[in-house]
Structures are given as C-alpha cells and as structure tokens.
Chains A and B, each alone.
Chain A
Amino acid sequence: MTNFGARLSALPHADRVLLKAMIAAALGLLGLGVALGLMTALARAGLIAPEPDQGYAALTLHSTAAFFYWLYLGQSALLLAFAAADHTGPGRIALAPLAWFGFALMLVGFALNAAGTLAGEPLLYDGPPELATESRGAAGIFYLGYIALALGLIGVASAAIATAFAPKLAGRIGAWSTISFGAVVWAGLLVVSALAALNAFLPAAIWAFGGGTLPIDHSVGWHLLFHNMHYLPLIGTLLTWYVLVGELTGVTSLFGSRFSKLVFCLYLVFVPPTSLYHMFLEPGLAPIVRLIGSLLSLFISVPTVAAFLLLIASLEASARARGARGLFGWIGMLPWRDPAMSAIGMAVVNLAIGGALSFVLIQERLAPLLSDTFFVPGYFHFLTIGAVSLTLLAAFCRVIPALNGGQLRLASLLARLPYALTLGLILFGGAGVLAGLRGMPRRVLDAGYDGASPAVWASLSTWLGVGGAIMTLALALYVGTLLVSLMPGRVRPMPTLTPHALSTMTADAALSKPAWSGPLSVIVLVGAMVALTIVAFRLMQSLPIAAIGGGGH
C-alpha cells in the first residue's frame, strides 16, 4: 500500500463510508448517463426510433446525469479524499455532517431533475424557461434540482476546505503541501461553479413558481455555467495527475511546491474571464465584445499547459536520471499495466485533442460555421469524458481499494479500458467534429429532414453511433468493475504496492537532464490548433455565400 492509500485506509470508518457512498452514487449516475447517451446516439444513427418526448427526455437526463451529477459527485469524493488523506497523522473529514448533507442534497437534486424532466416538457440540460411556458410546475421542479445540486456542492466544498484547514489550525502542519493547496483552490472553483448554477437557475425557478418575469437572459447565465462546468474540472484533473504520478512513480514536481501552487492559481486568473466565446452567435453581441472574447480565450490553455509541462518535465528528467534513453524512452519506463497509469495516459491524449479542437471554436469569425453544430459535443466529450472522467476513474482505481481494504477487481481489464474508451471517443468525437464542420446540428434525434439533409450527415451519424457504443461499453465495464470492487464481502487482501522507482535520484540530479517531451508536445498542440483553424477558415470561405457590407435601407 502506498502512502496516500495507507492514509485513506486509516480514515475513520464513517469517513470511509461517506467517500464510498459518494463514489458509488457517482458511478451509478455515470452508468445511467452513458446508457441514456447510447440511446440518443443510436437514435441519431437510425437504429432506434424513440418518440420525440422520450428521446429528448433521454438526452436531457443523459446530460444532467453525466455532465452535472457524475462530474460533481466524482469531484466531490476525490476532493474530500485528497483533503483528508494528504498529511501524515490522524486524518479525518472536518464538518462531516455538512459533507453528508451536501451529498444528500446533490442526490435530491438529481431526483428533482429527473422528476421535472419526466413530468413536463424535456428542456435539455440548459432548461430554457421559454420552452416551459406550458409546464411551469414541472420546469420549476427541474430547476430546483440544479439549485439543490449547487447548494450541496457548496456544502461538500466547504467541508473539504475545512478539512484542509484543520491540521493547520491544530498546529500539526505549517504550510500546506501542494496537494492541500490545490485541493483548496479546486474547492473554491467548485463553489464558483455552484454560484454560476444558482445564477443561471434561481431566476428561472422563481419564475416557474409564479414569481417574477420570464428570465430573458437565461442563456447568458447558462453559458457562464457551461464554461465553468467543462473547464474548471481541469484543475481537479491536473491535481489528480499530480497525486497519481507521485503514487505510481514516486516522482513529485522537481520545480518546488511554490511553483506548483502558482500554477494551480493560474486557473483562478485565466478560466473565468474566457467564457465569452460560447456567446459569439448571440444576436446583439457587439463586435468589439466578440473580438475581446476571442483574444481572452487564447489564454484559456495557459494553466493546463503549465501544469502539464511541470509534470511531464519532472517525469522525463527523473526517468533520464534513471537511465532512460532516446526521445521517448522515458515513456516506456512508466507502469502502464497499472489501471490508473493507462487511464491518465489516455486522459492526456484526449485533453490534447479536445484542447486543439476548442481553439477552433474560440475564433469569433468561425462561430457562424461551427456554433450550435455537432462540433460542440464532438470536442467537449474529449474534455469531459476523455480527460476529466477518465482521470476521475483513474483515481477511483486507487481510492477504492484503499477505502475497502481489498484489491481492485479485474485490474488487467481496467488497464485496457482507457484505450477502448479513447478509440470510441475518437470515432464519436471525430465523426461529430466532421459532422459539425458540415453543419449537422446538435440536439436533434433525427437529422434527416425528410431526405433534404446531406447524405454525409447520415453516414457520420452512423459513426457517432458506433463510437458511442464503444464508449458506452468501456464506461459500463468501468462502472461495473469499480462498483463490484466497492462492495463489501468480496474483499481480498490488499497487496503492498511499490511505486515505480523513478524517484530515487535527487531532484538536482534529475534537473541536470534535458526534458524535451513537454516542448515538443506544445509545438504539436499549437501546430494542430493552427492546422484546424486554417481548415475551418478555408471551408468557410469556400461556401457559396457572400457577405454584403451593410444592412441598407
């Protein structure tokens, strides 16, 4: 058992029960979300034909379960685990009743979201009030679900912050470690997400229950929330990589705790102001706002790239100090047979793909080509499933055995699932991006338009279904295997895990070695961004439509 695992195992029983309950609920909602996602992908592929109400209800619950509840519950569990088990000495979750209450509120939130969806018009996960004028009561229940989720998240994040502060206040530690510091920043950003959710849905709920007027700016609040939802989890992703790399290889940052903490703080600076690009298509948005939005969005990758470089340089330099040869020989020294290692390895690949694609969308002049098309889910599934979810699953592969005192079930299968998931994602996301470039809309069950749509939409929809099915299978196996590993009574003794020995050299010895993989990765990433942007521009310029200078009278 490793240090982090040992400290998790040493948590009080009640704390371990809380963490296991949160992980089980998160995995269950992920399973539900991907099953409903498969249903919508198969409907698009023409393999099933649900009634429109059923199909859009499935799409609504797919995205609320997988995008909101899985990600928030999964992050909450991991955040509490990091905060409670970071330090030597007796760890425990502070304000545990608040954490339990927050957890319960989040579950209530999903129940309300589901009840509201099934009782009224399916609104999809952004829940525009203007579509709910005939079923305001059901919509109100749906909005209350998000409000409960947000309040629950604030409760859990507050408990995590209190947990990180507890050893400081007790005088057991001086300065926070990088992990505790990162956990506090992460918790703070989760509170920001929760406030964004309240900002988006509280006015809608008030209107739905008869108070106030129809919130006509709901879409603005939604876009702010959506932006936070799929970028802020990246800090949790990077922090998890940081923890897991230490667990798996023994390597920690060679650049000092202060530098790592500074990098985590960059998320506070660069992510929140970069949300404007989601609104480029909004009528009435001034050109200068669109231009500023584009320029600000260029900075969105800074914290993630910085954290990535810090980790990669530390790993590569340490491996070279241990004798790694060639440009990429160090990669072969990593423990790829460990399920957590293969998962974070593929998460890096998916994050790079999703990041490169997102930089096409942030160019305001490309919005009329890509916004509201399938390009959007095409790219954000790389981020939310391929990067964030895969990282959460990697962490659970370590956390669950530690909490349960037993072995992970089917570890060799789990070590291979990230490759299958990435394959499915590349098919799904690749087909989605190509379909988006051809104008295929998102959020439709049938893009045939009675034969009037381009034939390529149908063939790409088939690939969406194939990719979605592979993703679903991989995620279902993840969910099933991890849930079985969580069950009591199926415990086998937990083996002693030895971190891969890349860390036995001193930091100075490692820092004397070059680390080229990070710079090369950035060059490749920027090159991909440039190529994709040029392709999109050229496609747009080739369309048989021309702008005329003025509106005229």
Chain B
Amino acid sequence: MNSLKTPRLLFAAAGLYVVILVMNLTGLLNDYFLHIINQSLIYVTLTVSLNLINGLTGQFSLGHMGFAAVGAYVSGTITTLLFNVKPTLVNYPIFVLALVIGGLAAALVGVLIGFPSLRLKGDYLAIVTLGFGEIIRTILNNISVVGGPRGLLGIPKFSNFHVVFVVAFVTLVVVRNLAQSSHGRAFLAIRENELAAELVGLNTTRYKVMAFAIGAFFAGVAGGLLGHLLQMAHPTQFGFLGSVLVLIMLYAGGVGSLTGSVIAAFALTFLTETLRMVLDSLSDMTNLPLGDWRMVLYALLLILIMLFRTEGLMGTREAKIVVLKEDQL
C-alpha cells in the first residue's frame, strides 16, 4: 500500500518548482515571465483561500482584497517603517514574522466582521463584505503614516519565486487537508444545507467564523507577499475591482474545486498580461488606443466561460493528485 501513501501533490509541486527554476537559470524563462509567475502564485493563494469561504462553506464574500490590504499594510509597516530592513538573507526571519503578523491581523479582522455579519445570508452577506472592503480602502486612504492616497512606498523586495511558491503550496495543502477532514465536512454541510447542518449538532456560526478567519489569514499573507513583490501597497490596488478579480478566478475555475482555483489563477493572470502585450503592440502599429479594450476582451471571455461552462472550468471536481485517498485521510 506504500504507493498510496506517496505525497503526490508534494512531488508534483517540487517538480514544477525545479522546472521553473532551471528554465529561469538557463534563460528559457526571462525575469519578466518569472514576475508574472510570482503574481500568479499570489493569486493562487488568494483564490484558494477565498474558495474556503465561498466554495467550501458556501458563504459569499466580496471583500477578500480587504483582508489582503490589512496583511499588506501591517507587514509592510513592520518591515519598512518599524525595522527599515534591507532584503538580505539574514533579514528574512523578520519578513516571515511580518507576513505571519499581517495574516493574523487580517484573521482578527475576519473574525470581527464575521460575528455580526454571519447572521446574514447570501446577497446580504455579500453586501456587508463589499462594504467592509471599501471601509478598509477608505481608512487606508486617510492614514498619512502609511502614505495615505500615495500608498506605502519603498517596501523592501523580500518576495521572490521561492517564498511565493512555498506560500501558495502551503495554502493549497492546508485548505485541501481541512476540506478532506471531519472539519471540512462540517464546512461542506453548511454549504449544502445550513439548517440540516445545525440539526446534526454542528455549531454553524463557529464554523462560518472559522472559515472567514482562516481564509482571511491566507489572504493577509498573500497581501503581504504582493506588497513585498511590487515594493508598494496602494489603497486602490485592494479595492472592489481587486476583490472581483479574485472572485472571477474562483468562479472561472469552479467554485469548490481547488484544482480549478489554481488553474484559473494562473490562466487569468497570464491572460491579462498577454492581452496587455498584444494590444499595446497593436496600438503602436495602428496608432489607435486599443489598450483600453483589454478589460472589455477580458470581460467578454468571462461571459463566454459562464455561458458555456456554467460551473466553471472544473465544476466541483478535483485533479487526482489533489485528492487524498481514503486511507490517507
């Protein structure tokens, strides 16, 4: 039975990691592409963590980037304003600590908005989380210590492929392991029928708050990574459109499918970049402002996905390597 116990996901991830690294070192993959891969991996973290809230537990959060903003600003404040550290190897423990604290701060905010708003369901919950995201953005816009509308600038570039990859992988494994456990079945039961979940003895409020807290934690860490990758944190970056982008990735991949979240985060990040490149060069050739049409094409593609694959790319299915066998449970 040894073959069943092999951590296939770990091997697959390690393989992908080595391939990307070797391609980068040999020059097959230039730094620009690596940067897009890094961004994709941060979006993987965001989408997978949103999947825990929206997909597995069946709640509807529209403010995921609000949590990311908390993480980005808290961790950025620690590394930039508090310690003002250079991104050297010896300083990495400070960065990791800052990321974790940023994640915990986001989780705390998740719990705080969770308790009052989890009495709400569906659309009403969506509106509350939307409002929460906007509140965070507005608050950040008005705190001059972290730059106000100018944003928090000069964040050291701690994020690199290694860190971003490990975080995305850990998020995926944590959410996967949770999903395929007795706790995960409680999340799913709430999604399937909340009243029945309550009537098999599950404290549904506690589980919903937990889902928000864990999802917010990883969103906060992802926000911290993004800040330390782009070397800045800006209020608009974490606004409503950002949350919608993550939501689109979730739905395009298939709500409830972690595999789908990973694929969609990569595909849509690359698509955005490709459209940017193609349209920019077309604009240069024709002298027309075609760059503005990027978001139109992007939206059109999403409409097509929703028309022809209502359940998203994967539906609720998972790739084999993501699923644990019964005796691995």
The answer to whether A and B interact is: no
Residues of B participating in the A interface, judged by any CB pair closer than 8 Å: none
Q: Which residues of A contact B (CB under 8 A)?
A: none
